C-alpha cells in the first residue's frame, strides 16, 4: 500500500516517510517544501523531520548552463577558481 505524498497528493514512491505519523513526501517535494528551512518539520504532526533534505536541482537551469559551458572553449577551465 502506497500512501500519497503529503505535498502534491499523488502516489509517493521515491519518498521520505515521517517516522512519527507515517506521512510520505516525495524527494523533490521535500526539497521544495523544506527549501531554506533550517528546522524541517513534518507537515502533518510537526515532529522533527529526521531525513536528510534532498537538494532539488532545477534540470532546465542546469541543462541550459551545461550546454552553454560545453560550447565554451576549454581555456575556461583555467579560470574556474572563483568561489
Ligand atoms: Zn509529492
Ligand atoms: Zn509526521
| 2 Cα to the center of ligand 2, angstroms | 16
Q: Which residue has the cell 517535494?
A: 29
Q: What is the pTM of this model?
A: 0.64
Q: What is the pLDDT of residues 31-41, one digit of tens each?
A: 999 998 899 99
Local confidence band at 56 (pLDDT 50, 70, 90 cut-offs): confident
| Integer Cα distance of 50 and 18 in angstroms | 8
Q: What percent of the chain has pLDDT over 90?
A: 52
Q: Which helix (H) or strand (E) holds 24?
A: strand 24-26
Q: Could you say which ligand is closest to the alpha carbon of residue 32?
A: 1
| 37 Cα to the center of ligand 2, angstroms | 16
| 54 Cα to the center of ligand 1, angstroms | 13
Please give the pLDDT value at position 73: 61
Give me the residues near ligand 1 (ion), CB cutoff below 5 Å: 5, 7-8, 26, 29
Amino acid at each position: 500500500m502506497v500512501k500519497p505524498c503529503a505535498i502534491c497528493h499523488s502516489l509517493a514512491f521515491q519518498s521520505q516517510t515521517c517516522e512519527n505519523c507515517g506521512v510520505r513526501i516525495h524527494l523533490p517535494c521535500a526539497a521544495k517544501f523544506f527549501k531554506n528551512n533550517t528546522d524541517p518539520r513534518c507537515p502533518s504532526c510537526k515532529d522533527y523531520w529526521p531525513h536528510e533534505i534532498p537538494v532539488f536541482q532545477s534540470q532546465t537551469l542546469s541543462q541550459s548552463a551545461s550546454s552553454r559551458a560545453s560550447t565554451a572553449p576549454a581555456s575556461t577551465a583555467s579560470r574556474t577558481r572563483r568561489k
